[in-house]
């Protein structure tokens, strides 16, 4: 989580970045800046572990919940998702937190504050229905789900990926 937050701040200092990601030149600059900050703070004992973490960092994960969710995906051996994946609907572009387009699966990690009113809940349901009409299956979870049973969340994702044709994984 911390690595993604630092990466977002470094990316912002480079003038921001489009939701779809950084230009390769800016990604290298961001990575070098993050590695330098980590190396300065790390002991020899932890440096190897931190360098492994740096390879997983991505500023496109927009919240701590998304970062933690990604960590569980890596831990469970799920395929790497595309981040902030653009989905073109009849009412414009919607960006999915996590997507495995080749399997028709979208993952949404949402905090409760984002949809605190009935109107916001209804609008999100309508956006989700538009994405489903395009053929995507959506798995949605929140903080409570990830805290109480992260393996259940990963099992839901794994099941949808298998249903979408991912060979080699069992639900």
pLDDT digits (tens, 9 = 90+) for 16-57: 655 655 566 766 676 677 677 666 766 766 666 666 777 788
Do 95 and 127 lie in one domain? The reply is yes
Q: Give the residue numbers spanning the domain of 79.
A: 74-163
Q: What percent of the residues of the chain are helix, what percent strand, and what percent coil, each to the nearest 5?
A: 55, 15, 30
Do 159 and 87 lie in one domain? The reply is yes
Do 49 and 108 lie in one domain? The reply is no
Is residue 155, in this structure, part of any structural domain at all?
A: yes
Of residues 26 and 76, more confidence is placed in 76
Q: What are the structure tokens assigned to 127, written together? A: 């956006």
Report whether 85 contacts 74 (CB < 8 A). no
The pTM (predicted TM-score) of the whole model is 0.75
Query: How many structural domains are present in the chain?
Result: 2
SS3 call for 130: helix
pLDDT in the model for residue 113 = 58
Stretch 144-149: mean pLDDT:
94
Q: Is it the case that residue 15 has pLDDT exceeding 80?
A: no
Do 90 and 127 lie in one domain? The reply is yes
Cα(7)–Cα(89) distance, integer angstroms: 30
Do 144 and 81 lie in one domain? The reply is yes
Q: What are the structure tokens assigned to 140, written together? A: 């949605």
Do 126 and 79 lie in one domain? The reply is yes
Cα(43)–Cα(83) distance, integer angstroms: 31
Q: What CATH code is carried by the domain that includes residue 153?
A: 3.40.960.10
Is residue 171, in this structure, part of any structural domain at all?
A: no
């Amino acid at each position: 989580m911390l690595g993604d937050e630092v990466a977002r701040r470094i990316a912002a200092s480079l003038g921001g970045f489009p939701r779809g990601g950084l230009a390769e030149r800016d990604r290298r600059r961001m990575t070098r800046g993050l590695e330098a900050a980590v190396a300065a703070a790390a002991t020899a004992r932890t440096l190897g572990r931190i360098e492994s973490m740096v390879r997983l960092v991505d500023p496109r994960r927009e919240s701590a919940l998304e970062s933690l969710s990604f960590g569980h995906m890596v831990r469970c051996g799920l395929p790497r998702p595309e981040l902030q994946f653009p989905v073109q609907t009849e009412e414009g572009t919607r960006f999915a937190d996590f997507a495995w387009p080749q399997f028709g699966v979208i993952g949404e990690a949402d905090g409760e504050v984002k949809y605190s009113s009935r109107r916001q809940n209804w609008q999100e349901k309508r956006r989700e229905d538009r994405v489903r009409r395009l053929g995507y299956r959506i798995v949605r979870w929140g903080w409570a789900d990830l805290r109480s049973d992260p393996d259940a969340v990963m099992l839901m994702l794994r099941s949808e990926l298998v249903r979408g044709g991912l060979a080699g994984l069992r639900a």
